[in-house]
Amino acid sequence: RGIRVLRVAQSLLRVFARHLSPSRFSLCASLSLCVCGCASTRPLPERRREGELIPAMASYLAANPDNPSSAAPAAGGSDKLTRLSSRNFALTSIDLQKLPHLRDYLPGLPTQSNPIDRSPFYRPFPGFYIGPAEVVLRHILFDLSGVHSPAPTRSLLAYHGAGPREVIYFDPHTVRAAIVTCGGLCPGLNTVIRELVVGLWDLYGVRQIYGVRDGYRGFYSSEPLRLEPKMVNHWHKMGGTALATSRGGFDLDKIVGAIETRGFNQVYIIGGDGTMRGAVEIFEEVRRRRLNVSITGIPKTVDNDIGIIDRSFGFETAVEMAQQAISAAHVEAESAVNGIGLVKLMGRSTGHIALHATLSSRDVDCCLIPETDFYLEGKGGLFEFLDQRLQQMGHAVLVVAEGAGQDIIPRTEAQREERDPSGNPVFLDVGAWLKSELKRWWEREHAGELFTVKYIDPTYMIRAVPANATDNLYCTLLAHSSIHGIMAGYTGFVSGPINGNYAYIPLAEVAMAKNVVDTKDHKWAWVRSVTNQPDFAKSD
């Protein structure tokens, strides 16, 4: 089967090489890398020698001698990896990120075969278990010409593939697993909890599973809740978190002390970027004390602002709910004379929800996000744009992320210093401020004319609902990937999809990575084309 896939991929590459222009051939690079990945992770008899070009790539280079990518390939080398080489493009090696493992500081740990082998309901097929050579590439799209982005001349960053291993490092009968939710709410929290419980119970036969209540402080301030499948059976249909959550309460010594005292040897931490940074500290302290405890983080943020992974769970549900608010604002605005519908959406440091909801609804006239500045008065400003839109259409819909415009909202010194329990700056309500400024502007410029602003703030509505079908499935895959990783002895890691494939990523790397809207990306260009809004670039 693998050989057939390889041949099909090579046939596609030949077609692309014949019909694509040099400037478009970068599409073939991602397919080539997929073929390379297949050839390097499965022992196929037709694997090519290092330095030997895939035929379609060779055809392209021969047909385009003036292209800077068309130099002769390097010859010879190891049989471990396919090598594509040219002046600007050389796939020379895979830089596999080291994943922390219990055996790093506890050598000689006993192992046993995976109990899935003995499941009465399922028999693993050949290739079911993930091997150490199966990796997920961080980047799969390259510009071979190096014109629009650097060509891949260095080694390619990769992560261990997620999934069940043939050998595990925990005896399921001695596992005491702890699950905790921290920070704000997000659709899918209860689904993750449910699937952790059901996965541990059904896949591995674990019977001692506990929920830590009230966030990080619950480790040392309250008794854990014993969990079993019957109790959590319907939790995926509920919003919020059945374990309760809170911000703050992080006391490293007390938390690790409670983990040790209560005998927990698997800890599943669900939370956002601040929670992940706390999880890194817990992992490092557990390792320093040489405890036989695995720590994993499951990143949660409705804003979708955690980096490396494709997206955070709950995000698609939030976008779906945000569309309902935008639709309501559009109806209100369209039904009034000179009506403006103003919607504030979640997004402290990034505008992913606002961006995706804008593209999905097609009712939005202007989208304001934290990644781009805007101004109100003068030529090219927001007021001028809205004035033109009202003259043309008679109404307008304005979407603003909560973190947008914070630098232009007047505030007192005390407001500048204010922090929430997690230490984040307290934002002022940009929606309420914009509503006030819009009314002031209209009274000044159009005194006596009818005007209506309808302000809708669905902030807590969109995060408190149950997960939709897509997010429920996603939460299940995240939870089960985390279980497989911990049972295999990995620790200090995060599970998540990268380019659609699930991988294990070092926890410290995820904790420091941010996912912000790239305003030079096609998605933001699509927003601009849909709304026709100005770029708010002031001319000197």
SS3 content of the chain, % helix, strand, coil (to 5): 40, 15, 45
Mean pLDDT of 203-212: 98
Q: Is the pLDDT of residue 3 over 80?
A: no
Please state whether the predicted TM-score (pTM) of the whole model is above 0.95. Answer: no
315-464: what CATH class? alpha beta
Amino acid at 405: G
Catalytic residue numbers, as ranges: 303
Interior/surface letters 76-92, b for 16+ CB within 10 angstroms, e for the rest: eeeeebbbbbbebbbbb
> Cβ–Cβ contacts within 10 Å for residue 378, how many?
10
**H or E segment to which residue 178 belongs:** strand 176-181
| Chain segment 486-517, per-residue pLDDT in tens | 999 999 999 999 999 999 999 999 999 999 99
SS3 195: helix
Fold match between domain 168-312+467-511 and domain 315-464: yes
Q: Look at residue 36 and tell me whether its pLDDT is greater than 70.
A: no
Which of 478, 498, 369, 459 lies closest to 186, judged by CA? Answer: 459
pLDDT value at 1 more than 60: no
Task: Please work out, in degrees rounded to the nearest 5, the angle formed at the alpha carbon of residue 278 by the alpha carbons of 275 and 281.
Answer: 155
Using a pLDDT cut of 90, give the percent of the chain over it: 71
What are the tens digits of pLDDT across the range 119-163? 888 888 989 999 999 999 998 887 777 666 666 656 789 999 999
Alpha carbons 205 and 228: distance in angstroms, whole number: 11
Q: Where does 168-312+467-511 sit in CATH, by number?
A: 3.40.50.450
The percent of residues above 70 in pLDDT, for the chain, comes to 80
Task: Kindly report which listed range (34-38, 92-96, 265-269, 335-339) carries the lowest average pLDDT score.
Answer: 34-38
> What does the DSSP 8-state code read for residue 426?
P
Buried b vs exposed e over 215-241: b needs ≥16 C-beta within 10 Å? bbbbbbbeebbebeeeebeebbeebbb
DSSP codes, 511-528 = HT-B----TTSHHHHHHH
Gap between the Cα atoms of 385 and 391, Å rounded: 10
Domain ranges of the chain: 1-86, 168-312+467-511, 315-464
Q: What is the largest CA-CA distance in the chain?
A: 83
- Phi and psi at 498, nearest 5°, equal -125, 115
Residue 430 one-letter amino acid: V
Cα 200 to Cα 164: distance, rounded to the nearest angstrom = 12
* Distance (Å, whole) CA 528 – CA 535: 8
Helix (H) or strand (E) segment spanning residue 497: strand 493-498
pLDDT at 424: 77
- Confidence grade of residue 323 (pLDDT, cut at 50, 70, 90): very high
Per-residue confidence band for 5, with pLDDT thresholds at 50, 70 and 90: very low
The radius of gyration computed from the CA coordinates of the chain, to the nearest angstrom, equals 27
* Beta-carbon count within 10 A of 336 CB: 17
Between 78 and 374, whose confidence is greater? 374
Report how far residue 113's alpha carbon sits from residue 354's, in angstroms, rounded to the nearest whole number: 47
Rounded Cα distance between 136 and 8, Å, is 21
pLDDT at 438 over 90: yes
94 confidence band (pLDDT: 50, 70, 90): confident
